[in-house]
Structure formats: C-alpha cells, structure tokens
Amino acid sequence: MTTHETPDQAGQHPTHVPAQEQPWPGRTDDMTPVPDHGEESWTGLGRLTGKRALVTGGDSGIGRAVAIAFAREGADVALAFLPEEMADADEVRTFIEETGRRCLLLPTDQRTEEANQRLVELTVEGLGGLDVVVSNAGFQMGTKGGIENFSTPQLEQVFATNFYATFWLVKAAVPHLAPGASIAITTSIQAFQPSEVLLDYAATKAALNNLMVNLASDLGPRGIRVNAVAPGPIWTPLIPSTFDEDKVDGFGSDTPLGRPGQPVEVAPAFVFLASDEASYVSGTVLGVTGGRAVF
C-alpha cells in the first residue's frame, strides 16, 4: 500500500517493550523505544493530492503517523491536540512542512460541543475547506479492581474524549463536506476483545463502531464515506502514561505476531480510507491488530 519497506519485514520493529511509566498524556521522546511514525520510511505516491484533512490527536502516536503520511501523500493537514502536547505537535508540523504541505496547529480540548465547532471552523478557514476527517483523539486509564474502582470523573472524561467529541466533531464537519469526502474513526480491538482494566474505554470503542455504521448509512446518500480503523496494541504515549509499568513490560507480546505494532503500521489503513481508492468502502472496520480478530 506504500512504497516504503515495511519495517517488520526487515526485522526493524522492536519485539519487546521494557517496563516504564510517564505522567499522562506522555511524551514521544521519553518512550523506550521511541515509536516509529514513518518519519524516515514513508514515501508518498500522491494518493491524497489536493485534499484537506483534519486529524485529532495528531501530536503523537497513531495521529502523528497519519498526519505525516497524509502530508507525504499530498494533503494539507490541520492537527488538533491538547495544549500541553504542543511540543510533540511542533515536531509533527516540522515533518509536514518539509513536504511543502500546509499545517495548522489547533490546540483544543474537545470535551465540549463548542470546542469541536470552533475546531472545524478554524480548519475550514485555514485550509480553505475540508475533505477528510480523522477522529483519533482518545483517553484511557488502566484501572484495577473491578467496576467499584472506576470513578465518575474518569468515566466522564473517557466518554467525553472518545465518544462525545467524535459525535460533535462529525456533526460540525458534515456541513463542510462535499461528495467524495471521507470520515475515519479510530476505534480499537478493545471493542471486540475488551480488557477489564479498560472497561470504560472499551465501551466507548464499541459505541464508536456502532456510531460509524449509522453515520455511513446517514451520510452515504450525500456521497460521504464513514469507516473505522481498529488498532490492536500500538506503541504510543497513551500506553506508558495510563498503565502501571508492570503492565507495560512486554506490551503487545500476546498478539499472534508476538510484538506491539508501531504507529506507522496503522497509517496505511487511514491513507487507504481517505483516498479515492476506497471510493466504494463505507460502513466497515479495518483491523490493524497483529492477528487479533475484529468480529
């Protein structure tokens, strides 16, 4: 799907993640190993030339890889991220602007409808329109001990960040989307194989899969495609900043491929869904899970 050599084919992807912790929301440069977002490997084919994309959670992890890939495929990109993640976002802007594409940095806490409306307005104003929406921002917090230990503030933050923000973002974006536009939502293997310590997070991801199917039906007559990408265990700052270090040790080793995925390995799914190659693909979930089933 891309011209870059897939790193695992060359034996370059780390197979073991050592124990480590960070304060939430985490920093890319403080991770061991540092994730691969395609900074050195992605070579574009012009598959998104002329498109204008908004990527939430675009400062790090999957969103960072998607933003870099989109730019190298010819798209201008607006990045949404929390204000405290500006340092990571600045690094992404550098990679995007090196391609000659435009980059907007839009620090936004998406946990209100008004914030999402403003985010879309700034994107349309800055890029001159909107063709691709990637709702990728997410929050989780590993919680031990069963439902009694899931606090209401945490539940509200997880649902507001993952589900409500996606709903509000799409609602705000739709009036600006023309036939041929694409919406892609990051869900998770957790929607299909939930972990007890991520009870609330897994519930939001299942809800997003359901929302995606309904949106595909609702927006299909307007020529707008809606899909989801369900990653498995991907090595991003969310992992060391939301799990105890003993849970991070060996992260992803229980997949059939025996290792965690890298953000660059998820980006091709989003590029495909945003491209005209996926012109008849809507209402589906693409799993990037290291071998775990998404059904």
Q: So which residues are the catalytic ones?
A: 201
- The upper half-sphere exposure of residue 253, i.e. CA atoms within 13 Å in the direction of its Cβ, equals 11
Quote the tokens at residue 127: 């890029």
- 70 and 132 in contact (C-beta within 8 Å)? yes
- Range list of H helices, 220-294: 238-242, 245-248, 263-274
164 CB neighbour count, 10 Å cutoff: 17
Backbone angles phi, psi at 166, to 5 degrees: -65, -45
Q: Which amino acid is at 99?
A: T
- 60 and 141 in contact (C-beta within 8 Å)? no
Q: Is 66 helix (H, G, I), strand (E, B) or coil?
A: helix
Adjacency order of strands within the sheet including 182-186: 103-107, 76-81, 52-56, 132-135, 182-186, 225-231, 285-288
Backbone angles phi, psi at 136, to 5 degrees: -120, -20
Residues 6+ apart with CB under 8 A from 105: 79, 81, 86, 89, 90, 93
d(CA 96, CA 74): 10
Let me know how long the chain is. 295
- 165 and 111 in contact (C-beta within 8 Å)? yes
CA–chain centroid gap for 1, Å, is 18
Quote the tokens at residue 141: 């917090």
